[in-house]
Chains A and B, each alone.
Chain A
Amino acid sequence: MITAHPTDMILQEYAAAYIDKRTDVAEHLHHCTACRIKVSQYRSLFETLPGLKKPAFDFNLADTVIRQVAEQRPTVSNNDSSYYSILLIACTCGIGLFSFLLYKTGPILFAEGTLLTTVAIATAGLLLLSVLATEMIKKHYAQIKTLDQFSHAAT
């Protein structure tokens, strides 16, 4: 039998039935009114706590958050294709100029250079740039599409 009072932690665990009822604690409680009352109070606490009213937000959280997500979209407009048109024209002009210069200076730069070599280099460059531009545009539109879905729902 426990002669000293059990600690509060032990009494809490006993009240919550975390420890076996057939222990020295039970025997102590049988003789000790003070500890018995404590256990009774903790038990009451454990029974009452789940009944506390659960708080809830007093506004539509989903709508508010989705609206904010939509507001964080990039500044480039979905319909602003002129940006990409200018980029494409600039690339084409640049490649054309590069091809012309290469055609004119190619024979000097490369002793054995021919028109075929010049065209092959220019074509390879053009292809590479096209692939990169396509990937960039695809990525951008995928991002815009995602944000548009949120934007559409929010407005």
Chain B
Amino acid sequence: MQSVNQIPANNYDERSIVKDILSGSEAAFRTLIRNTEGLVAQIVYRMIPVAEDRKDIAQDIYLKVFKNLEGFSFNSRLSTWIARIAYNTCLNYLEKNRIMTEDSQRIDADVGADFFSGKAEEQLFTKDRIKILQAAMEKLSPIYKTLITLYHNEGLNYQQISEITGLPNGTVKSYLFRARQTLRKLILQTYQKDAL
């Protein structure tokens, strides 16, 4: 049996690791999980609002990976393929549990730039930026959260996100635009509320 350390954590050939897993190497499968679980966690945490269900979903994702690995055709990166399985599994969960996947946090009021003035505006994006942003992100719909995370946090491009979500490039771009727009407005609304 191969030990985990025999396979470099971040530098392995995809064909080799798939071959090793299919020939029964537990170490190879363990390495694959460890190298991709960060990306999978991003998708699962952004899309699944119920914390208790995340563990089962994460396991389900990798069981699907194991079962379907033989059919992986190397047309995309292995991590992209796994992310796609993760995305579809989460999407099925959302549909099954009837959790809204559209923009559920529409902003009615158009809080224009004239709302800001001098010091207040500076504070908005300088003080506790991350904290404010994190709170606003939680209010976004699961799909928007996922797209924003994949693009800005994971550094994936439109094409890669398109492969993961199965959405056309243009749709990904358009959704991302709307997600950022909503995010900006949510931050402004929160700030407005706090200021009052």
**Contacts known (A9-B177, A34-B114, A54-B38); A66 close to B125, Cβ less than 8 A:** no
Contacts A35-B113, A45-B184, A61-B62 given: A55-B133 contact, CB under 8 Å?
Answer: no
- Of all chain B residues, the one with the shortest Cβ separation from A46 is B152
- Whether B42 is near chain A, meaning CB under 8 Å from some CB there, is yes
- In the bound complex, how far is the Cα of B116 from the Cα of A35, in angstroms? 12
B93 CB within 8 Å of chain A = no
A68 touches B177 (CB 8 A): no
CA–CA, A55 and B149, complex, Å: 11
Asked if A52 and B125 make an inter-chain contact with CB atoms under 8 angstroms apart, the answer reads no
Closest-CB distance, B59 to chain A (whole angstroms): 6
**Contact partner of B37 among A41, A61, A146, A152, CB < 8 A?**
A61
Contact A149 B137 (CB under 8 A): no
B41 near A38: Cβ-Cβ < 8 Å: no
Q: Which residues of chain A have C-beta atoms less than 8 A from B41's C-beta?
A: 54-57
Interface size on A, residues (CB 8 A): 38
- Separation of A42 and B185 alpha carbons in the complex (Å): 11
* Interface residue total, chain B, C-beta cutoff 8 A: 47
Contact A57 B29 (CB under 8 A): no
* A69 CB–B CB distance under 8 Å: yes
**Judging by beta carbons under 8 Å apart, are A12 and B177 in contact?**
yes
Interface: A139 (CB within 8 A): no
Which of these, B30, B38, B125, contacts A41 with CB under 8 Å?
B125
> What would 10 more interface pairs be, CB under 8 Å, given A56-B37, A145-B24?
A38-B113, A42-B180, A44-B129, A51-B129, A61-B62, A62-B33, A64-B55, A64-B59, A65-B29, A153-B1
For B26, the chain A residues whose CB sits under 8 A away are 66, 149-150, 152-153
Task: Annotate B10-39 by CB proximity to A: 1 below 8 A, 0 otherwise.
Answer: 000000000000011110011001100110
**Cβ-defined contact, A52 with B181, below 8 A:** no
B153 part of interface (Cβ distance < 8 Å) = yes
State the A residues within 8 Å of B (CB).
Answer: 8-9, 12, 33-35, 37-38, 40-42, 44-46, 48-57, 59, 61-62, 64-66, 68-69, 145-146, 149-150, 152-153
Q: Are A59 and B149 in touch, CB under 8 angstroms?
A: no
Q: Which residues of chain B have C-beta atoms less than 8 A from A49's C-beta?
A: 133, 148, 152-153
Contacts of B99 in A (CB 8 A): none
Q: Is the CB of B116 within 8 A of A37?
A: yes
When distances are taken between beta carbons in the complex, the residues of chain B under 8 Å from A37 are: 113, 116, 121
* A–B complex contacts, Cβ < 8 Å, 6 sampled: A41-B188, A51-B130, A52-B137, A52-B149, A56-B41, A69-B63
Complex Cα–Cα for A41 and B154 (A): 21
A122 to B30, CA, bound (A): 51
When distances are taken between beta carbons in the complex, the residues of chain B under 8 Å from A55 are 41-42, 44-46
